[in-house]
Amino acid sequence: MKDPSAFRIVGTRVMGVDTPAITQGKPLFGIDVDRPGMLHAVLETCPAVGGRFVSANLDEIRALPGIEHVFVIEGDGQAESQLDGVAILSKSWWSADQARLALQVEWDTRAVEGYSTQGYAKCAGEALDRAPEKTVLDKGDVASALDGASQRITARYAVPILAHGTLEPQNTTALFTGDAIEIWSPTQNPESGRALVAAALGLEKEAIRIHFTRIGGGFGRRLMGDYMVQAAAIAAKVPGVPVKLLYSRQDEFRRDFFRAGAWHELEAGIDAAGRLTAFRDHYVTFGADGEPSRGAEVAAGIVPANLLADARIEQSLIATNLPTGWLRAPRSNSLGFVLLSFLDEVAQAGGRDLPALLLELLGEEARTIPGSGPREADFQTGRARSVIEKVLEMADWAGPTGSKAVAARASASTSAMQGISRWWSRRRCVMGWCVCRASGRPAMSEARSSIP
């Protein structure tokens, strides 16, 4: 959390003291760093993540106008620290990037072949057809509860791999002086990056000084220190010269730590009154050796499993060469869509609407349901219920008409509910409400947008 002194109150809004400078385009971000005598660098890595360098037309690139240096960076094979690459340095980023277009590299991709979107979908489908590899949660007797249900609803959902796509591409400026290095970087995790740089260059951490710049969008991507290590490794090849490494937009999407893909087979049982009585989720995602990839974990305390007596969550893993990472609200940004969409199907099967189903699951009496792990916040049913009831009131909710929809999502200690109302005349105009409660503090907002 930033020091409160870095903020000032304007009306009912909190505005950072940097806001005027940001709106005026003043140099605050990592991409704005400029040092005397600085060279600009681009780094070409294998299109298949993890491929190793074999050869390249380095001499031809060195002979191009404006090019100062061209050399190979030998990595350790780990995306978190350093993959093999070819660095091109020039007095302008544009000329370095133009030279990259003429670069011809031979990569050894034998160890990372066979992965594709279509291949992942095929492997996931096969995994869903098999028995699950691991049980994450097993409450009550799910099999009996499903067998005794009046209706059983099943569905399969897929969640795509996503890149963060931050507005400011990854970048770092570094100055290596032989026995120390100075770094300017928009990082969310400077200490982790410092450790990675120390290991890569064989320096003590005390010899690494990091200037923490403004970040043009992090969302979990800048928790990883790969771009810091890359800039440091390039700067170490030209001691005494500041070097700024800047990703192109193509680099940004190709060399991300992606949100992991996920595939779900969901099953629910409802009784004659449409009440949810049992829930099962077989969750397939990336991982190896029995452990899910970074950011691909599923918590045992997800809704509705944490609200039912009979619930089971199971997991199976498929292989990937892609580095994965956390995307803002790491679990719920993927699970929220899947679980609430499925619960809407369950509600419809029972002749009800989603708000009614959710309110019934939460119950009349406020309860605190402990989180399923040390990083999982407790779930407050009373807080969630009050949010749902408030947004239904604001949206004048009268059931699932053709012009209204309701969705809910719980993320960490915040419960949020959105109600979308009416279509207006000849233009598709949407009015929306959002009500949140975080740590007991309510907040409400209303927004209108016009769609021609």
Which pLDDT belongs to residue 407? 64
Which pLDDT belongs to residue 242? 98
SS3 for 115-169 is: CCHHHHHHHHHHHHHCCCCEEEEEECCHHHHHHCCCEEEEEEEEECCECCCCCCC
- pLDDT tens digits for the chain (452 residues)? 344 444 444 444 456 788 899 889 999 999 999 999 999 999 999 999 999 999 999 999 999 999 999 999 999 999 999 999 999 999 999 999 999 999 999 999 999 999 999 999 999 999 999 999 999 999 999 999 999 999 999 999 999 999 999 999 999 999 999 999 999 999 999 999 999 999 999 999 999 999 999 999 999 999 999 999 999 999 999 999 999 999 999 999 999 999 999 999 999 999 999 999 999 999 999 999 999 999 999 888 899 999 999 999 999 999 999 999 999 888 788 898 999 999 999 999 999 999 999 999 999 999 999 988 777 889 999 999 999 999 899 888 877 665 556 666 555 444 444 443 333 333 344 456 566 655 444 455 554 444 33
Which pLDDT belongs to residue 446? 52
Which pLDDT belongs to residue 434? 63
Which pLDDT belongs to residue 17? 84
Which pLDDT belongs to residue 424? 35
Which pLDDT belongs to residue 372? 81
Which pLDDT belongs to residue 427? 38
